[in-house]
Amino acid sequence: MLITSLPPHTTTNATTVKESNQVRKMSNLLCGKLEACFAIRLPASQHHDIFSGRPHHVSSMAPTKIKNCALHEGDFGKKGSIVIWDYVHDEVHKVAKELVEDIDDANFSTTFKVIEGNLLKEYKEFKIVVKATPKSENTSLIHWTMEYEKLNEDVPEPFSVLKFLVHLSKDIDDHHTKK
């Protein structure tokens, strides 16, 4: 498994450009990107289908981590839908309401943007991308990417969230390959 922490980044907008270098430097400290890449024994299309179209099935595949995934708005498998995840992270029950920002079936990628919930108590913005790349007929490479902006510099990097997502994929893999 490969986990990387990329250098902090910012998006430039008119407000940032007009502000002082100190503000720009502070913003760089608050923004980050973490990635993990690892192999599983599940076909890429199947892993993608679970997160893009059937997230409500994840609780039966990883019941110690995901307690429920409910549709709040829209339809499962459709861009623009909103899902609510009830999950256990670091032994604490948490909730995340996420907008399905993009589903790319050709590249087996799904993008979620957190719009409410526990993560937004520490992060101003939090985006999660899960991408599956075929390695062979029945194996794939899973790539989780998190882009975030912390509310302040005392907020830790979300390494434990990335670890949670990696183990979630591995639980799903185990669920399907043990059958």
Q: In this predicted structure, which of 104-113, 127-136, 170-179 has the lowest mean pLDDT? A: 170-179
Contacts of 34 (CB under 8 A, 6+ apart): 3, 4, 5, 6, 145, 146, 148, 157, 158, 159, 162
Alpha carbons 22 and 24: distance in angstroms, whole number: 5
On the question of pLDDT at 11 being above 50, the answer is no
On the question of pLDDT at 142 being above 80, the answer is yes
The reported pLDDT for the residue numbered 9 is 40
The reported pLDDT for the residue numbered 178 is 83
What's the rounded mean pLDDT across residues 136-159? 95
| Residue 54 φ then ψ, to 5° | -135, 45
Q: How confident is the model at residue 128 (pLDDT cuts 50, 70, 90)?
A: very high
More confident residue, 21 or 65: 65
The reported pLDDT for the residue numbered 62 is 97
Alpha carbons 80 and 76: distance in angstroms, whole number: 10
